[in-house]
Every structure is written in C-alpha cells, then in structure tokens.
Copies of this chain bind each other. A is one copy, B any other.
Amino acid sequence: MRLRVKYLGIESGRKPVVTLSVDDAAELGIRSGERLRLRFKEYTINAIVNIATKSVRKSVIGVYDEVIKSLQLKEKDIVDVEPASPPLSLQYIRNKLRRRKLNYEEILEIVKDTVAGNLSEVEMAAFVIALEQQGLDLDEATNLTVAMVETGQHLEIDKKPICDKHSIGGVPGDKTTLLVVPIVAAAGLIIPKTSSRAITSAAGTADRAEVLMPVNLSVEEMKRVVGKTNGCFAWGGSLHLAPADDVFVQVEYPLSIDPMLLPSIMAKKRAVHANFLAIDIPTGRGTKVKTIGDADLLAKDFIELGRRLEIKTQCLISYGEQPIGHAIGPALEAREALRALQGYNVPDLIDKAVHLCGLIFGMAGKGDERLARDILKSGKAGKKMREMIGQQGGNPNIKPDDIDVGEHRIEVKSERAGTLLWLDNNLLVEIARAAGAPRDKKAGILLQKKIGEKVKKGESVVEIYSEKATKLGLAEKITYEARPFGVGERMEMRIRDVKEIPIARKAFILER
C-alpha cells in the first residue's frame, strides 16, 4: 500500500510510531500496536502503528519525528507500507509469560529491542511484570545484567583495582557516597563513581554532588577526572552505561515494582569494570528491606551475582530507620557532607562511610576502617574532594556556608516534652519533595533532633526549607496532616485503628 506522509509534529520519545486511518489499517489487517514496514527510497524501517478515527484520513500516514528522521521524509512524500512481523523478542516475552526460563540470547534480544524502541509499551511492560510476578533466578539475573552491559557504553580505565560503592537506597539524607569516594581515592584506589538522580527520593547522589560541581560528564571527561584524582562524581544518566534500565524504569515506577534491582545495579558496576564493590543495604521500617533476615537474603544474592560477574562484592547491612545525618535535600546535604569532610562531627554519617570504606579496603588488601577514619580525620579526604570538585569544573575553594539553602523556612515543633521516639522516613521524603526537592536544589529538611534525643515542649524538631512560599505551604500542609515524628516517654501501643476495609498503600522506593 502507498500512503502520503503527513507530519504530526510530535515525537514518541524512542519508538518509531506512525498513525493510520481506520480504513487503511483494516485493509492492511493491522491492529493498533502492531508493526508496519515502511519503505522510502533506499530507507526501510519498522514502526509501531496507532490508529486514528479522525486525525488521519484514508491514504495518509501520520508520522512521528523519529520516523521522519530515519526515513528522511518530507511532507507529502509517498511511502510504501506493508504489515511487518513483530520482533522475535516479543515471542520470547510471550514465552516468559508462559513461565519459561529465558536463556542469554533471548534476554539479550529483548534488551536490544527495548533499547532500540522496537517494543511497544504494553510488550515491554509484559516483560517487566512477568519478571516481577515470577521472580528472576540467579541465571536470569546474570544474563540480564550482562545483556544490559552489552547494550550500553563501557568505561575503560587502565588503572587497577577499580572500586565501587552502592546503596540500594531508601534512607533519606544518605550523603555517604560524598564521603566514601574521596576517602577511597585518597587511599590511592580508583573509584569512578557513577550515580543517579532521585526518582522517588528527595535527592540522589548526582543531585547532591551537582551542588558542588558539574556531574554531566562524558565517558572521556570521566576518564580524565579519574586519571587526575583517582575518583569522580558522574551522573550515570548521561553515560548510557545500561540504557535499557532507563526504559524499564518507565514501567516500574508507575506500578511500584522493582524486579530488576540486582541486574540494574550490577550492570552499571560491570560497565565500569569494578573489581571490588561494597553495597549498603539500609534495613528497617521505612526502608526497602524491612528485616535483617531479608537483608541477609539480598546480600547473598548480591555476593553470588558478583561472583558470577567477577566483581568481588561485600555488603553492609545498616540501620535505616531514620535519616543519615540531619540534612535532607541536595544543597542541605551537600553542605553537611562538606562539613563532615572538614572535620565537623556527624557521627552516623561518618560511621557509615568508614564502615563501607573498611569493606573496600579489606577487599583491596589496603587495611580496614581505621585507615578510612584516619584519612577523613587527617583532612586528606577533604583535600581530595576539593581536587575532584576542581577537576570537574566546580569551585574547589567552596565553603559549606557558601552553599545557599531555601530562603523560605518553617519549624515543626514538638507539642510535648520527651524523647524523640521515631522519625517517618517516607513522610519526611514526601515533605521534602513537596517543598521542591530534588528539582529545587535548595529545598529540603534539616532535622534538629534524632531518635533518642531529648525534646522540650515547643522545641523545633524538623525545619523545612523551600525556594518558594507556595511549595513551603504544600509541605507544611502534609506535615500537619500526618506527623513525621513522635515524641514521648515511651512508644505508644496504637499504631492505627482499622474499622473498615482500608485502602492498602505501600510506600515505594525506586532508586538506581
């Protein structure tokens, strides 16, 4: 069939998409979501079909920007179209729905087509949901990891050994990486750290680091910075180390599922050729992993998967029932981390950083966490941080007090005296996000108290910062609808009465 091109003036994001009239689609025997093979001059492409009842007339084909580019089309060009078979990977996805284990070649094909945009939303969703419902065994996790690496960029650094650190996330205010990287680099080990921006949290490491220096590094820039300083802070998103993961996230996020936690993390470590990897598993109420038993199971999987990928892996199961340090939100956290690097005491933050460095040093045969504490105390880590900031194009002389935080501020005070008994991680994140974080870098929360500290009646426990008064208002509203902390003499017995069927909601933490 020959159809006349109509520019739609929209892009689909990744996939080549075309729009057909109901009549032409019926004539071709094609349904919405199926594929059409388009030919124009020497160019050929398969595109996914939308069907329009109105906006595209018979004998016309509406084309998205991606198709215009691939086929070099002009308005009113005539293209040849015919029904195209779905990609082989769709057959593999159907087999997965039938509970068949997929082999490496099959997984690779699915991942390739995911990256190339050859699968529709529904088809890709089916793969992710099937994995979530059936679970991945270690073979599939290994194969998926390797396939994600195979379809992305790699970082080749000729120094050895390469160290890395990762947190599965879930604790607000976790700026530990901002300490770990300079400590490890100052010890003479290589740590080309890639980090993500926040997805569900109030700040990702990339968001925090960006307050101090540019993080949109290319692979080449990353190599240069690591060459000079042994370490770096790069935003993973611009590096395309495992681009499939970014696509899968688009399904996982709305559904609150995270079946690819392990492959997603390990792919990025393998792509930088990590030799030694320390993984932080924050554990407890309000984190991803609720019990120490579950944390052990997860650690086992990480270590075993690491072994298969030739990445020596060790895990820290860490206390996660309250934020790390006092600050939540990019600028507030960057300021706190910089202070800690300059000798200011933030006990839980420093403990966690040196525990993780201890694991890395142990694996690399460098020593243990005492070395990490020495490097931090001696100021070597702070100096290393400034070198890295300078090399990445930030101001190496920046002082903590130079870092601006939101000018709109409220204090949330305790209505009674007692001990701070609990902090609600998820609610604190919700408040910080309502205040503008992570997009508004200066927005966030400063805790005046941590669990176990004495609180006077009327004393401030939580301070909220925002760049805009309207957003502060939203954050304040949430705070007064559901209190993010509890003060008293002892834990109260009643968590909640349930008198009718509740709408069960589960807080969801998705970080990469």
Q: Are A254 and B90 in contact (CB under 8 A)?
A: yes
Cα A97 to Cα B257 with chains together (Å): 8
Q: How far is the CA of A342 from the CA of B123 in the complex (A)?
A: 48
Question: Is A255 an interface position by the 8 A CB rule?
Answer: yes
Q: How far is the CA of A6 from the CA of B255 in the complex (A)?
A: 30
Q: How many of these chains are in the complex?
A: 2
Residues of B within 8 A of A504 (CB): 91, 95, 100
Question: How many Å from the CB of A15 to the closest CB on chain B?
Answer: 12
Within 8 A of B (CB), among A13-37: 13, 19, 26-27, 29, 31-34
Do A97 and B133 touch across chains, with their CB atoms under 8 A apart? yes
Q: A10-B55, A33-B254, A504-B100 are in contact. Are A122 and B120 (CB under 8 A)?
A: no
Q: Give a binary string over A246-275; 1 marks a CB under 8 Å from any B CB, 0 the rest.
A: 000011011111000000000000000000
Contacts of A33 in B (CB 8 A): 250, 253-254
> Nearest CB to that of A103 among chain B residues?
B501
Task: Tell me the complex Cα distance, A130–B91, Å.
Answer: 19
Given A94-B256, A130-B133, answer yes or no on A10-B62 (Cβ-Cβ < 8 Å).
yes
Q: Return chain B residues, CB-CB under 8 Å to A29.
A: 433, 439
Q: Does A138 touch B at the CB level, under 8 Å?
A: no
State how many angstroms separate the Cβ of A162 from the closest Cβ of chain B: 32
Interface positions of A from 175 to 213, Cβ below 8 Å from B: none
Q: Which of chain B's residues have a CB closer than 8 A to the CB of A95?
A: 504
Most central of A88, A126, A132, A503 by chain B CB within 10 Å? A126
Task: Check A298 for interface membership: any CB of B closer than 8 A.
Answer: no
The answer to whether B13 touches A10 (Cβ under 8 A) is no
CA distance A126 to B255 in the complex (A): 8
Contact residues in B for A65 (Cβ distance below 8 Å): 54-55
Flag whether A129 is at the interface (Cβ < 8 A). Answer: yes
Residues of chain B with a CB closer than 8 A to A90's CB: 254
For residues 32 through 51 of chain A, which have their beta carbon under 8 Å from a beta carbon of chain B?
32-34, 50-51
In the assembled complex, A293 has its CB within 8 A of some CB on chain B:
no
A250, B123: Cα distance in complex, Å = 11
Given the known A-B contacts A97-B129, A97-B133, A125-B126, are A52 and B10 also in contact in the complex, defined by CB atoms under 8 Å? Answer: yes
The distance in angstroms between the C-alpha atoms of A32 and B123, with both chains bound, is 17
In the complex formed, the residue of B with least CB distance to A56 is B10
A159 contacts B by Cβ under 8 Å? no
Residues of B near A103 (CB, < 8 A) are: 501
Residue A11 lies at the interface, judged by CB distance under 8 Å to chain B: yes
Query: Is A494 interfacial (CB 8 A cutoff)?
Result: no
A260 vs chain B, min Cβ distance (A): 15
A53 at the interface (CB under 8 A from B): yes
Tell me if A134 counts as interface (CB < 8 A to partner B): yes
**Which B residue's beta carbon lies closest to that of A54?**
B11
User: Inside 8 A of A122's CB, which chain B residues have their CB?
Assistant: 121-122, 125, 250-251, 254-255
Q: How far apart are A510's CB and chain B's nearest CB, in angstroms?
A: 11
Given the interface pairs A55-B10, A254-B122, A256-B94, the reply to whether A88 lies near B129 with Cβ below 8 Å is no
Chain B hits for A506, CB < 8 A: 94, 98
Whole-angstrom distance between the alpha carbons of A103 and B9 in the complex? 44
Specify the chain B residue showing the minimal Cβ separation from A62: B10
Residue on B nearest A8 in the bound complex, by CB = B10
Q: How far is the CA of A433 from the CA of B31 in the complex (A)?
A: 14
Q: How far is the CA of A27 from the CA of B470 in the complex (A)?
A: 13
Q: Tell me the residues in window 252-307 of chain A with beta carbons closer than 8 Å to chain B beta carbons.
A: 253-257
Within 8 Å by CB of A120, from B52, B133, B254, lies B254
Q: Knowing A103-B501, A134-B133, A505-B91, say if A55 contacts B11 (CB, 8 Å).
A: yes
Give chain A's interface residues, CB within 8 Å of chain B: 8-11, 13, 19, 26-27, 29, 31-34, 50-56, 62, 65, 86, 88, 90-91, 93-95, 97-98, 100, 103, 120-123, 125-126, 129-130, 132-134, 250-251, 253-257, 433, 439, 501, 503-506
Give the 5 A-B CB pairs with smallest separation, nearest first.
A133-B133, A125-B125, A10-B55, A122-B125, A129-B129
In the complex, besides A11-B52, A97-B255, A120-B254, 5 extra interface pairs with C-beta distance below 8 angstroms are A10-B52, A10-B62, A27-B439, A55-B65, A91-B505
23 A-B pairs in the complex with CB atoms less than 8 angstroms apart? A8-B9, A10-B52, A10-B56, A10-B62, A13-B51, A26-B439, A29-B433, A32-B250, A33-B250, A33-B253, A54-B65, A94-B255, A94-B506, A97-B132, A97-B133, A98-B506, A120-B254, A122-B125, A122-B251, A122-B255, A125-B125, A125-B129, A129-B130
